[in-house]
Chains A and B, each alone.
Chain A
Amino acid sequence: MVIPFGPQHPSLVEPIHMQLEVEGDTVLGVRPAFGFVHRGLEKLAEKRDWRQNVYLVERTCGICSFIHSLGYCLALEDLLGVEVPPRADLLRVMWGELHRIQSHYLWLGLLADAVGFESLFMQTWRNRERVLDLNELTAGNRIVVSMCRVGGTARDLDAEMLDRVEATLDAAESEFGPVEHTFREDGGIARRLVGLGRITREEALGLGAVGPVLRATGEASDSRLLGYAGYGRLQVAPVTQAGGDAYARLLVRLGEIRQSMALLRQVLPLLRQEPGETLVPVRKDPTAGEALSRVEQPRGELIYYVRATGGKLLDRVRIRTPTFANLPALVHMVPGNEIGQVPALVLSIDPCVSCTER
């Protein structure tokens, strides 16, 4: 028997469709279908000035938008030979990590909701609001902050603003404690997730998995180790777990919220100690050539490939998003599980369909 899952499903915010081949309650095979929210952004990027594309690519994702603009700008800066001011690199880390925290909070809330833990869902999203408020405070917008430019950042933060960021971070860190404790210690959550969708490190590597899905198998892979933006000056140690299952993915994301807060603690003193420019004007168009950037999104590695032939328009902009990379692993995980487990399993990779379909 074949049972359709999605594209509209209570556990999914975005449309994914899967044809589940089942026997009794057990899923034997799965065939996913896509294309419900495809926007053709890569094609659109060929029709706009390379500067305008910063705004376009930022709208690839409604959760980690800043990191998309960062990946695109890094590729363009490589192509143009632009050196970004060190202060802009630190600000990029700050907004990137704020996006990671709020994205993981979003996922934690969805997970709590999916396992029927409504009060935990509400507390998690209340905490997320504080991070979104920080985005609004520093950038004027809560999600699509539009702070990245080719050559740096659009805005600097003064000492008073940095104090307010630090005070909010203090509060956010103390509020995270009880939520983290509940996710780690609640027996109901563990019973739903332990052993669910388990894959080995070798399987994850062969399937091209990235981000928390890969790190939950014990592989210490994190694009921030490349040292892009200001990460080269900071201590970044990938958060890993050995379980390979949905519970291990949860633990990785909990650890990464702590890690992002620690990175912000490293960045804020540097921003206080090192005043300077945040934007280098770029007045030339890219010459013919190609460039590729790799950045770490909350869901894993994001890749931007750009090719120019000279002039204002780019010849090709290719966006490889982390959920796209994690879908083969998801398809591999589903068979063998019961139908009732599929929603939590799909959720465990933190799917972003908007990113996947672009």
Chain B
Amino acid sequence: MVLLYHVALGVQMRHLGLRQNGGVAFPSVSGVLPGAWLYENEIQDQFEVTFAGLTPDYGGKLFLRRDVSGTPWGAPRG
């Protein structure tokens, strides 16, 4: 699976892709970019993906109700 990062400063934008095997947690970038915690929590909500070192970690229940199982997109494609 590939996780795409789009990082911008002003009009400049860089696009990065991090490829990783399924079932392995991606490293959280929230330690470097503090605002990333919200993005990574949303991704955990939507896909079967986890982030190691994510703080705060909503455990895949940022938008989803606690009684909902699974994720809307399941495992990521690609």
A residues near B (Cβ < 8 Å) are 31, 34-35, 38, 40, 43, 205-209, 220-221, 223, 225-226, 292, 294, 301, 303, 305, 315, 324-325, 327-329, 332, 357
Bound together, the chains give a CA A223 to CA B36 distance in angstroms of: 20
A226 close to B11 (CB less than 8 A): yes
Are A207 and B6 in contact, CB atoms less than 8 angstroms apart? no
Q: Are B11 and A207 in contact (CB under 8 A)?
A: no
Q: Are A35 and B64 in contact (CB under 8 A)?
A: yes
A208 touches B35 (CB 8 A): yes
Residues on B facing A (Cβ under 8 Å) = 4, 6, 8-11, 13, 15, 33-38, 42, 56, 62-65, 72-73, 77
Given the contacts A221-B10, A315-B77, A206 and B65 also touching, CB distance less than 8 Å: no
Least CB distance from A14 to B in Å reads: 14
Whole-angstrom CA separation of A43 from B62 in the bound complex: 17
Contact between B34 and A206, CB atoms less than 8 A apart: yes
Residue of B nearest to A43 (CB): B72
- B35:A303 contact, CB within 8 angstroms: no
Chain B residues, Cβ within 8 Å of A38: 63
- Decide if the interface of chain A is mainly helix, strand, loop or mixed: mixed
- 18 residue pairs A–B, Cβ–Cβ below 8 Å: A35-B63, A35-B65, A43-B73, A206-B35, A208-B35, A221-B10, A223-B11, A292-B15, A294-B8, A294-B13, A303-B6, A305-B6, A315-B77, A327-B38, A328-B34, A328-B35, A328-B37, A357-B63
Is A207 within 8 A of B35, CB to CB?
yes
Residues of B within 8 A of A205 (CB): 9
A34 / chain B contacts, CB cutoff of 8 Å: 62-63
Count how many pairs of residues, one from A and one from B, have CB atoms less than 8 Å apart in the complex.
Answer: 49
Provide the bound-state CA to CA distance between A138 and B37, in Å.
42
Q: Cβ of B62 and Cβ of A225 under 8 Å apart?
A: no
Contacts of B73 in A (CB 8 A): 43
List residues of chain A with CB within 8 A of the CB of B10: 220-221, 225
Of all chain A residues, which has the CB nearest B63? A35
Q: How far is the CB of A15 from chain B (nearest CB, A)?
A: 12
Report the Cα distance A221→B10, complex, angstroms. Answer: 5
**Nearest Cβ distance between residue A276 and chain B, in whole angstroms?**
28
State the Cβ distance, B4 to closest chain A Cβ, in Å: 8
In the assembled complex, the CB of B39 is this many whole angstroms from the nearest CB of chain A, namely 8
Q: B33 touches which one: A208, A225, A226 (CB < 8 A)?
A: A208
Further 16 A-B residue pairs, CB within 8 A, beyond A205-B9, A206-B34 = A34-B63, A35-B62, A35-B65, A43-B73, A207-B34, A209-B35, A221-B10, A223-B11, A225-B10, A292-B13, A294-B8, A301-B8, A325-B35, A329-B35, A332-B34, A357-B63
B55 nearest CB across to chain A (Å): 12
Contact B56 A31 (CB under 8 A): yes
Shortest distance from the beta carbon of A346 to any chain B beta carbon, whole Å: 16
Q: Which residues on the B side are within 8 Å of A325 (C-beta)?
A: 35
Smallest CB–CB gap between B72 and chain A, Å?
6
Q: Closest CB-CB distance, B2 to chain A, in whole Å?
A: 11
